[in-house]
Amino acid sequence: MPRVLTARAVADLVAPALAAESSGPAYGRLTEALRHLIADGRLPEGSRLPSERDLPGPLGLSRTTVTRAYTELRAQGYLHTRRGSGSVVQVPDVPGGRIDHLLTPSALSDGAIDLTCTAAGAPGGTSEAYGQALEELGAYLPGTGYYPGGLPVLREVVAERFTARGLATTPDQVIVAPGALAGVAIAARALLAPRGRVLVETPTYPNAIATLEGAGARTVAHPIEHAHDDWDVAGLGRTLRQSGARVAYLIPDFHNPTGALMPAGQRAEIGRMLRAAGVVPIIDESIVDLPLDGQVVPEPLGRHVPDAITVGSVSKSLWGGLRVGWLRVPRGRAADMAASRLKLDLGVPVLEQLVAARMLQAAPEVLPQQQARLRAGRDVLLAGLREHLPDWRVRVPSGGMALWCALPRPGSTALATAARAYDVALAAGPNFAAGGGLDGWVRLPYVLGHDQLEQVAPRLAQAWADVLAGRVSAGRDDRRGLQPVEPRIIA
């Protein structure tokens, strides 16, 4: 069932563009406003627009104006109308763009810059943690080594961390998994019926979309406001009521890719909405430990939804090589989650669990290192963009690992192709789109060393100049003959 957008909701979205001073006929301005909202993912693919009879009133325009705008959108491939089904949003195909939501870097040469992955190197003290874990390992060797739910020591540490943040948790509510993405898979398989609907933000983490769809889910996109920390609470409520989704996947803490941090007030309000709609959220807290400006992160969203599943890991905040994550589950769902966990594997390696426990215990000393490294990298990358690409718009994130940049015009996919000629691997915006669009956005991680980050903006400026000059299309660099490559899964 397509999501139905009310005439008032659409009118509110296009009002700023219609109110702005601009030349041209009214139908042209309405066409451009709607096209921009579709390309930006704020009118998700598959949504049904109001009829040509219902929309004119809230817009204060004539029916003829709305009809001409719809006609233009159909001709451009942004709208499909069928008798009895109304006018449904669609996104024109972008050659080489979104490929099963998996990020697609090219083969990299020496000296190339890989901006497809948001993962930092291991912090100081990692080797020492491994040494300590090796000393502890002997006590576990007489046993089988199978701990599907996780080592007690690690579950205790994780439970204590949740409790300290305001979400009371006991070790029996923690299930250890090989990363947060595995936690999402475990939860999705336990919660979703075949072809069940799951609400996801757009943009969002590409591999989470692939994981949810791999579990048989049908995703329902909820656009978030890219320029502000705004989850559009009213719009979320409408989507929950109309979509029939019974599960939601949300990233409230330094959202990937926008870096947005959900305010405390919104957490309480969204929690009420989820409870009222009977929707179980899978809350991804993978980046919760990475505030960069000294701010206090609000209490967990899971505190406002007793039935929530919260997933986390050490991969982003500490080191991806550990491959240790977890689920925090309500007691009423513990049996279902445990059964789903056993369908994945028989447990995370004992040594890595011991290392993770050690590093989490040392987090007050270790995390400031990571935060300082990321803060410095963020500032280096921002300075480069201001100098070399001043017309790119970016809201400075207060945490996380990447910038989410708005390009002056759509062309993210073409930019990813062009950038390979300058030895830069990018993830184009459509990879992050749950509802289509986002070719006007690009994610730029600041996890690399300063020497590499200082080269990012100059190289991208050259690539962007090639795009603007028409030397590069979405799927091919006409000057160099480069072609898209096969996808591989990365962070």
The least confident of 90-94, 149-153, 212-216, 355-359 is 90-94
Say if residues 411 and 439 touch (Cβ distance below 8 Å).
yes
pLDDT, position 64: 87
The full set of domains in the chain, from first to last, is: 7-89 (1.10.10.10), 94-125+364-491 (3.90.1150.10), 129-361 (3.40.640.10)
Contact 366, 318 (CB under 8 A): yes
84 confidence band (pLDDT: 50, 70, 90): low
Quick check: helix, strand or coil at residue 44?
Answer: coil
Helices and strands (H and E) in the chain: how many: 15, 15
Nearest residue to 269 via CA among 304, 245, 244, 243: 304
Could you count the other beta carbons within 10 Å of the beta carbon of residue 87?
Answer: 20
| pLDDT at residue 110, as a whole number | 65
Q: Between these two residues, 432 and 95, which has the higher pLDDT value?
A: 432
* The token pair that represents 370 in the structure block: 């990571």
Rank 25-39, 60-74, 93-107, 296-310 by mean pLDDT and report only the highest: 296-310
CA angle 278, 434, 344 (to 5 degrees): 70
Angle at 167 between CA 164 and CA 170, to 5 degrees: 85
pLDDT digits (tens, 9 = 90+) for 16-73: 777 776 667 888 888 888 887 887 677 877 788 888 888 888 888 888 888 888 888 8
The confidence score (pLDDT) of residue 95 equals 44
**CA distance readout (Å), 183 to 175, 434, 484:** 9, 20, 31
pLDDT at 433 over 50: yes
Other Cβ atoms less than 10 A from the Cβ of 454: the count is: 14
- pLDDT of 489 higher than 60: no
As a whole number, the mean pLDDT across the chain is 87
Comparing 271 with 41, the larger pLDDT belongs to 271
Among 158-162, 202-206, 214-218, 419-423, the minimum mean pLDDT is found in 214-218
pTM, rounded to two decimals: 0.83
Q: What is the DSSP letter of 478?
A: T
pLDDT of the residue at 350: 96
The predicted pLDDT at position 405 comes to: 96
DSSP codes of every residue in 202-270? ES--HHHHHHHHHTT-EEEEEE-BTTTTB--HHHHHHHHHHH--SEEEE--SS-TTT-----HHHHHHH
Q: Both tokens of residue 357?
A: 């426990």
Which range is least confidently modeled, 239-243, 434-438, 474-478?
474-478
Residue 101 has pLDDT above 70, yes or no: no
pLDDT at 26: 83
- Separation of alpha carbons 182 and 348, rounded Å: 11
pLDDT band at 381 (very low <50, low <70, confident <90, very high): very high
pLDDT at residue 344 above 90? Answer: no
Q: pLDDT tens for residues 223-248?
A: 887 666 578 898 899 899 888 899 99
Q: Is residue 477 pLDDT above 60, yes or no?
A: no
User: Among 283, 232, 189, which Cα is nearest to 44's?
Assistant: 232
pLDDT at 97: 42
pLDDT higher at 13 or 102: 13
